Structure 1
Amino acid sequence: MLQFYLYPISYAFLSFPLIAALFTVPFLIVQYRRHGYLHKYRALVLYLLLLYLMNAYCLIILPMPPSVHNSPPKADAIFQWVPLRFIADILGETGASVDQPLTYWRVLTERALWQELFNVLLFVPFGLFLRHYFRTDWRKCLYGSLGLSLFFELTQVSGLYGIFDYPYRQFDVDDLLSNTAGGLLGYLVAEWFSAHLPRIDRLDAFVDLSKHRVSYTRRGVAFLIDWWILAPVGIALKMLGFPFPYAAEIFLYFMVIPWLMNGQTFGKWVVRIRLQGESGRVRLPELFVRYGLLYWLLGGLNMLYLRIGAIRESAILFILCSLVLFLVNAAFALHAIRCFIDRRRKLFYESVSGTGHSIT
């Protein structure tokens, strides 16, 4: 029986790094927008919640049938609508006898009993998270636990929403009751549990955002958002035959727009940061120097290399350009690593332009 639970748990842990990676950017955006910064404890709790939900989901849906064309179940095996039927199942399976007290311990060996205990314990962490992190009252915990349990039951009885030809698990009303009871039990346990942990609603009480350094992670998220917008625009301009599309979009998006929008692109606005110049509000010449060095010079060399590689008129020229570009990119990578390790250092295009980031 233990192996039946270890398989889905191990599958959830193996899948967690990938799911966590997909979860990270939306998570960071929400944290930056809502709180203005990333708190490590808040991040830890939310990633633990994600890991818990993955384990619960895998425990519910795994193992699956070997084929999507599974055999149809019996008509009376799809739904179980009788509340507390598990009591009759335990009594029917147990080897204990009422008139023989020494046999009562056998109840603890019955599968039906352990199945119900598992269904209760499965939702205890959910109640803990709802009360400790989301600060819900018992009614919301009740509805939330019932809703999550109903989602799991519908997932099973629908054959994973139509992926399988037939349901491969039973919709059991006792599962709804035991899961909801587990959520409420977790809610009660959280009263003691939360007393030994930081209060979520007080994490930001003494935070001064003006003294927070803008991390490279935050800047990286803004970079991804900006280029998620710019990449298709650049491709479209290239296909339409627009002259110098890369240089034009860099000028408009990273120089003109931040100058008009007080140091913000759309990506910087999303993560609540802005560029500042030496005298406060960033000026157009400062933006011209900053992004000219980063995107026209460094980025332009990479774009030129791609163009030379596509033409391939001279093998010697291509090899020479490859060597030069490798040295340039390697030097920038080492420079960026040094700046990342020593936070007092500034990237070269920031030092020359006199620009930097601040939190809005």
Structure 2
Amino acid sequence: MTSFFAPAFIAVFVGCGVAVLAFVPFVAVSFRRRGGMTFWRTVSWFAAAIYAMALWTYTLVPFPQPSEVECSPLQLRPFQFVDDILGFDTSSISALMSNPAVLQATLNVVLFAPLGWFIRQLAGRGVVIATISGLVVSGFIEFTQLSGIWGVYECAYRVFDVDDLMMNTLGALLGSLAALLFVRRGKDGPDASVPRPVTATRRFIGIVCDIVISWVGSWFVIIGTLFFTMFRGDGEIAEPGDAVMNIAFLLPFLAQLVSVLSGGVTLGERLVLIGSAQTHLPVAISRPLRFLFGIGGYMLLTQWPFPGSGLILTMLIVTTFIMVFTTRSHRGLACAVARVEIVDTRAERRDAQAARRR
């Protein structure tokens, strides 16, 4: 793998991991601050996560071995890149396009242009904030290089260049200006307190959140246990035993069970502001059914497989997704079996407030 594509691969891989870990908090914040999620805003945040990793990989990676570090000098003369450009062939456009100094300056601008774009699109800030952000982020990266990653290395393993600081800041400025052509900067966002319909997309997001919670919750327990045993012991990572795997399953399982039994909805549904309005069966019957034909059944079948469990799990998943798009109010399989109606929790609060006024 070339030195150019290796940082890109790392950025995409790590960025996707960060996006998965941040998905549940992102959904919770989006529904409470903006009332919901939009496709393009979600894609933009996903791209921003990958871009943040790209800034790190292209400016700091690869990390040299401490014994192989050669101390790099400081370049503190502004506009030194102009002399560097003139030191190569500048007799034609094609020569300039292949000029290493031109390419270096251009890449520094291009690397930070998305930062200015994201500052306007996602944070709703203008040119001044984008430019200052570019200066601050670039300065942090340059001083990280200068300090040998804050003392990890004895000296700087990359050149501290004031021209890089200038070109990076210019890139953030140009990215913000370019966003002016495509992104409207509104002062007032959508009213998150207004009730909205329970759509199939919203139900799907809630289901994905439930699955992510079960996976990520289990992996947090496993990884936390591995680190604990590594630091407590001789530094070697031991394979997790059956007890750790059982705990990793039980914690998210019990959290979902308590959520359904206490409120009639899963954790993922709480995140997307879905509530249980009423049931046509006694609560003591409907809520266990709601759990077993939903996230509870999914988790049990994945944890303790038996002959034919794969087919049952497949049927459960397929039927659930089909019924989310076809049942009344997009209730899905679990709600249909438990005969539970679901609503927007904001509508519940509004109706409760109206009842109190009467």
Q: Which runs of 5+ in 2 are unaligned?
A: 222-242, 347-358
Q: 1:259-338 to 2 correspondence within 5 Å?
A: 268-278=269-279, 286-295=282-291, 322-323=306-307, 329-338=313-322
1:50 counterpart residue number? 49
Unaligned segments of structure 1, at least 5 residues:
97-101, 240-244, 280-284, 310-320
Query: In 1, Cα distance between the equivalents of 2:188 and 2:95?
Result: 49
Shift in alpha-carbon separation, 1:115–1:264, aligned structure 2, 3 A: same
164-173 vs 14-23, which moves further: 14-23
SS at match of 2:342: strand
Q: Which secondary structure does the structure 1 equivalent of 2:276 belong to?
A: strand
Displacement after TM superposition at 1:225 (Å): 5.3
Residue 192 of structure 1, CA deviation = 2.2
RMSD: 4.4
Residue of structure 2 equivalent to 1:221: 209
Matched, 1:210 2:196: yes
Deviation digits for residues 2-48 of structure 1 (CA, Å, limit 9, x no counterpart)? x6544433443455443433332232222122222211121122222
Aligned-residue offset at 1:179 = 0.7
Question: Aligned match of 1:153 in 118, 142, 149?
Answer: 142
Q: 2:114 aligns with which of 100, 125, 128?
A: 125
- Decide whether aligned partners of structure 1 residues 358 and 152 sit closer, same or farther in structure 2, where only a CA change above 3 A counts: farther
Aligned match of 2:166: 177
Listed one character per residue, the Cα deviations across residues 85-134 of structure 1 (whole Å, up to 9, x for unaligned) are 2233334x2356xxxxx589856543223211221222122212222332
Distance verdict in 2 for CA 1:63–1:352, change over 3 Å = closer
Larger Rg: 1
Q: What residue is the counterpart of 1:85 in the other structure?
A: 80
1:354 to 314, 339, 355: 339
| Identical-pair percentage | 23
Between 147-156 and 34-43, the greater mean CA deviation after superposition: 147-156
Q: Distance in 2 between matches of 1:295 and 1:172?
A: 59
- State whether residues 85 and 102 of structure 2, in contact with CA within 8 Å, keep that contact through their aligned partners in structure 1: yes
Instruction: Specify the alignment match of 1:30 in structure 2.
Output: 29
Measure how far apart 1:326 and its partner are.
5.7
CA gap of 1:328–1:161, structure 2 versus 1, over 3 A, is: same
TM-score by length of 1: 0.67
Contact 1:302 1:325 in 2 (8 A): no
Secondary structure, aligned partner of 2:157: coil
Question: Are the aligned partners of 2:15 and 2:50 in contact in 1 as well (CA < 8 Å)?
Answer: yes
Contact 1:119/1:178 (CA < 8 Å) preserved in 2?
yes
1:339 matched to 2:323? The reply is yes
* Length, aligned pairs only: 313
Q: Which moved more, 1:327-336 or 1:292-301?
A: 292-301
Contact 1:305 1:322 in 2 (8 A): no
Assess if the C-alpha contact under 8 Å between 2:323 and 2:333 holds in 1.
Answer: no
Distance 1:47 1:115 in 2: 27
Q: Quick one: distance in 2 between partners of 1:303 and 1:104? A: 65
